Chains A and B, each alone.
Chain A
Amino acid sequence: MDRRLQGLEEAFDGLDIEPSRDGGKRLLVDRGSVLSLLSALVDRGFDHLHMVSCVDWPEQKELELVYILSAYNLGGSFEEEHRDVVMVGCRVPRNRPVAVSAIRLFECAEPYEREIHELFGVRFEGHPRLTPLFLDRHYETPPFRKDFDTRQYVEDFFGRVPPVGDGDGERT
């Protein structure tokens, strides 16, 4: 195992480290300790947050937040093990999706958390502006969740626009 990850399993209860398919590492942690795990990873050199992503798992009634990290490794050589990308997963319940904001550790998490709040409905505690990033309408179901039917939405929303020439004859 990458020596930068040694000792993490002992330090975090319930932390699960497994190799991911592409040669990196996959860490799964409770939502309560995600921030302290990220902080421990920063101390171990994983100082580059690539992105925060979210996956909807409706059958498990959970949303999974995925933090993807690697090292900028300034001035160091990029040996095989320093290339590793680490994914940190953290599951939150779908009906009460609350997580802690990672902005304190990574400034660039701000727009990603805004995006996830808007598209998946996850609320990030400690985030200074959870305002909409892309959309200008309010959606009852956050639009990137699996139960949001895009086709039905298009039909409901745009299907109501009457076709040209189908009115009361005024357009002829």
Chain B
Amino acid sequence: MRELELYFGPQHLGMVGNFSITLKVEGDRVLEAAANPGYLHRGFEKLMEQRSWIKNFPMVCRMNVIEPDSMEMIYAMGVESLAGLQVPERAQFVRSIYLELARVGSHLFGLWAYANMLGFDTVAQWAMYHRDLVLDLFEELTGGRVYHIYIWPGGVRRDFPEGFEKRLVETLHSIGGCVPDYNGTFFENRLFRDRARNIGTVTREEALGMGGTGQVLRATGVPYDVRKIEPYAAYDRVPWEVPTREDGDACSRILVVRDEMIESVHMIFKLLDEMPGGDVYNRIPNPFKWRIPAGETYVRCESSRGELGLYLVSDGGERPYRAHFRTPSFPHGLTVLEDALRGESISDVGNIMISLYVVAPEIDR
């Protein structure tokens, strides 16, 4: 049969985000895939070298549109590490609650994308609606729906407003109350299982060899999670589990996403119970004249997609000398995706890509 070159995206119904894949196909089998990022390359890391330490906060969160909060967190962690800043105990809890809420919002968005791609429009609309309820909470807490710029060096911008905790719990209960509906309509539905099982399988050895983290690795039975390995914020103050699955296929990855969402909600309840009083930020030097001692650091945290890292260098000046983000979508969307697509059917390309939870702006930066 004849080999053809097929362009999948950036304008394609099965493609979420500005990203494309060049496929070499024979019949409807993919022989080879080449990922083409770059549609959203804005050179943020270079632009950061021209802005003061504090002015970079509105910039870093725009690297991941769907979950900007862990980008704020990682940059704040980098600055704190270089400047030797401490964070008050209450702020650690607020950060963890905020980041877990962001994870729930991000996973709901991911579920929207996945369900939409499979044709489960109803489930997709539910997920989008529930994400909007999470965004309402963010709006109340930070003033912004999508980009929040809430975490900053030394703590968070403000404490929870009055009655916020109650509304947070109510909203999470109302979303959690729909889990049986989601299960019945989607996760236990044969249509989903048949479409996702044994599709885009990444074995444990492959995932480890290709720098896989997050759901890609946890779907192969490895409980690798930075929140456990190198606990930051308040993740070591309450007990929680790392959900895993064994099969390494699209189905396992999506089920890990669901289980993580449920675990995050439980974690928020536990964190709220344990939350101490006190300040939510430590004073930092005048941000307009803030010089950070020369040095370099590598910090990491667990974003909703996997391990997020930041290599940050200071030359003792008012701006970062170099910032380089290790975003989880970079290995997942380039190395892992190209490998997972080989030998699959054209109709499963979108399925595999979205199940790998790739976010294009995170690759391009």
Q: Give A residues with C-beta under 8 Å from B.
A: 20-22, 24, 26, 47-51, 53-56, 66, 68, 72-74, 78, 83, 85, 87, 106-108, 110-112, 132-136, 143-144, 148, 150-151
Contact = CB atoms under 8 A, between A and B. Distances in A.
Contacts of B230: 78, 83
A34 B229 CA distance: 27
B88 interface: no
A73 B299 CA distance: 18
Contact of A108 (B82, B313, B335): B335
B307 interface: yes
A21 B82 contact: yes
B229 A78 contact: yes
Contacts of A55: 313, 321-322
Contacts of A136: 38
A68 B298 contact: yes
B81 A22 contact: yes
Classify chain B: how many residues form its interface, as a range. 35 or more
B348 interface: no
A144 B41 contact: no
Given A68-B311, A133-B37, A135-B41, A111 B295 contact: no
Contacts, number: 96
A144 B321 CA distance: 12
A51 B309 contact: yes
> Which 9 pairs across A and B sit closest by C-beta, in order of nearness?
A108-B211, A134-B38, A134-B41, A51-B326, A111-B334, A53-B324, A21-B295, A108-B331, A22-B297
B299 A50 contact: no
B330 interface: yes
B43 A150 contact: yes
B298 A85 contact: yes
Given A50-B307, A134-B41, 15 more contacts: A20-B298, A21-B81, A21-B297, A22-B299, A48-B208, A48-B211, A50-B309, A50-B326, A51-B309, A53-B324, A68-B311, A108-B331, A112-B330, A133-B37, A150-B46
Interface in B36-88: 37-38, 41, 43, 45-47, 50, 81-82
A107 B309 contact: no
B58 to A, nearest CB: 18
A134 to B, nearest CB: 4
Interface of B: 37-38, 41, 43, 45-47, 50, 81-82, 208-211, 222, 224, 228-230, 295-300, 307, 309, 311, 313, 321-322, 324, 326, 330-331, 334-335, 364
A136 B364 CA distance: 13
B46 A24 contact: no
Contacts of B229: 73, 78, 83
Contacts of B331: 108, 111
B47 A150 contact: yes
22 contacts: A20-B297, A21-B82, A21-B296, A22-B297, A22-B298, A24-B298, A51-B311, A53-B324, A54-B324, A56-B322, A72-B222, A83-B230, A85-B298, A106-B211, A107-B209, A107-B210, A108-B331, A110-B334, A111-B330, A111-B334, A133-B37, A134-B38
B337 to A, nearest CB: 11
A50 B300 contact: yes
Contacts of A73: 229
A78 B222 CA distance: 14
A83 B225 CA distance: 12
A105 to B, nearest CB: 10
B224 A72 contact: yes
Nearest to B36: A133
Q: Name the residue in B229, B322, B324 with the highest tally of chain A Cβ atoms < 10 Å from its Cβ.
A: B324
Nearest to A114: B334
Contact of B300 (A72, A85, A111): A85
B301 to A, nearest CB: 12
